[in-house]
Structure 1
Amino acid sequence: MIGSLQNLMEPIEDLDVLVTGAGRGLGRGVACFLGQVGARVWIVSEIESELEMTAAIIRKKGGWVKTRVADLSSESQRSELAKEIKSGSDRLVAIINNAAVLERQSLQDIQVDSWEETLKVNLTAPVFLARDLISELLEKGGSIINVSSQAGVLGFADQSAYCASKFGIEAFTRCLALELVGSRVSVNSVTPGLKIKPTSITDKDISILDPKVSQAWADPISLGPAFHLLARLRGGVSGCRFNALTLAKYIAEYGSELTVRELHTVAEYVVPGEENG
């Protein structure tokens, strides 16, 4: 097949994938899906009970999982996480930067500490985890997937810090993709495209919510095929933004044996000049 993605991909079965913010929501869904398809999943969250719940789901399905409780706003804890992965993984092939915090505040109410916390978790952590682990990916190829949001494309009232961090993620994704042109490392961003549990809602919060509210949220594991495909990329398609729901539906209809052009067609954003690649 001309321009086939298969020439730019490899299986991730029995290979290592890092998923941050995997204690709940999208991160849990993606981690569980990747565990089901055979990846060795390293999951990170600040809340141990939520992290163990994700791990239990993966293990119940026969998957391999390694947990790490970490505050990604902490430079020292990020550094320790990177060291543990380097020493303990057989081969890291994908980093999924999903962890995020969201605190709604107007400009008049916003505080320095909450602003800095949001930027550290949502933007600084992805940048420096990529820096600390990029050597693992460059050696044999890999993929970096930065979870973005419509907040990284549009602006929303009372979400200045969150939107700034997600706009930053979009910029970082494109800059790093340009830095790595010619390598076997893909760097792309993904927006969920599905009504899932909001970033700021914990499992504890859900227990006291009106069931009608939580029942309206879709199961994020349905987006797993999109992340699975992108995690298998080894260069060639990079600097793009994908809507996970759109991509997952496309895969369900046409399969994952796409051409580069077809994948670019599905993308929300493609680096100028690459649209017909």
Structure 2
Amino acid sequence: MRLKGKIAVVSGAAAGIGAATVARFAEEGATVYAGDLSFKENSEEGGILRRRLDVRDLTLWENLANEVSGAGSAQILVNNAGLVGTYASLTDVSVEDWHSVIAVNQTGVFYGMRVFIPQMLGRGGSVINVSSIWGAVGAAGVAPYTASKGAVTQMSKNGALTYAKEKVRVNSVHPGLIATPMIAAQDPNISADVVRATPMGRIGEPGEVAAVILFLASDEASYVTGAQFMVDGGYTAQ
């Protein structure tokens, strides 16, 4: 029960890494506010409170923060919501597609940190931002995705340095190719290329990423902040 008595907020919580994280947090005793755009109605079950959350909407973030503050304060925030959106290059991507991806992957993380870090100041808290291997190393094409995930990496370091003395830890997690609905929807040839470039030679599972997120959320990671955790089968070690 590593998270017993703690309140956690997880975005992009309906499937994949987000759903696996919510399940692990609940198993470890946390009360979990699970936010996702696909949740049409509020529901509660087994310590999991599902709430509709469009991470592009600051008002919805503020409403969720107000609800959480009524129950105490958030000690854990996992900014997980994200999308690839388009595989276009810098010169080919439409301006609309660019802003669409940035709004979810980068601005959504900013909003989450903006509204929930104040609840942690002085009390202690852990923010885990889900970046990507392509937020740490380069990739051709997928311009807005790589740009936004790189921004998440640096926002995490900025938050770690800004709030360290306020007892708030901020770290980023960088999944490689993980078996999620987002990956299932992409061109199989792209996935096959990434698997071939992965030393462990396989796709990862959402639970393998959730296990690292759980560690960072727990008091076991009390001296860890500003770090990048690769969960990629060795991809970025090359």
Report TM bin, short chain.
0.7 to 0.9
Q: 1:182 aligns with which of 142, 159, 165?
A: 165
Output the TM-score relative to the length of structure 1. 0.70
Instruction: Determine the C-alpha separation between the residues in 1 that align with 2:10 and 2:167.
Output: 20
Secondary structure of 1:48 counterpart? coil
Q: Report how many aligned residue pairs link the two structures.
A: 219
Q: Report if the CA contact (8 A) 2:177-2:183 is conserved.
A: no
Q: Report if the CA contact (8 A) 2:11-2:36 is conserved.
A: yes
Instruction: Determine the C-alpha separation between the residues in 2 that align with 1:91 and 1:78.
Output: 14
Would you say 1:29 and 2:20 are equivalent positions? yes
Aligned to 2:196: none
Output the TM-score relative to the length of structure 2. 0.81
Q: Report if the CA contact (8 A) 1:32-1:221 is conserved.
A: no
> Aligned partner of 2:106: which letter?
L
- Deviation string, structure 1 residues 64-101 (Cα, Å, up to 9, x no partner): 011111211122222222222222x3331100000001
Aligned to 1:226: 212
> Aligned partner of 2:28: which letter?
V
Instruction: Determine the C-alpha separation between the residues in 1 that align with 2:89 and 2:31.
Output: 41
Aligned to 1:127: 110
The within-5 A match list for 1:85-100 is: 85-87=68-70, 89-100=71-82
Secondary structure of 1:180 counterpart? helix
> Aligned partner of 1:227: which letter?
I
Deviation at 1:156, TM superposition (A): 2.1
Instruction: Determine the C-alpha separation between the residues in 2 that align with 1:68 and 1:101.
Output: 19
Aligned to 2:31: 40
Identity of aligned residues (%): 27
Rg larger for = 1
Q: Report if the CA contact (8 A) 1:184-1:235 is conserved.
A: no
Which 5+ residue runs of structure 1 have no aligned equivalent?
1-9, 247-267, 269-277
Which 5+ residue runs of structure 2 have no aligned equivalent?
193-201
Q: 2:10 aligns with which of 16, 19, 34?
A: 19
Secondary structure of 1:146 counterpart? strand
Secondary structure of 1:19 counterpart? strand
Q: Report if the CA contact (8 A) 1:29-1:219 is conserved.
A: no
Instruction: Determine the C-alpha separation between the residues in 1 that align with 2:217 and 2:130.
Output: 12
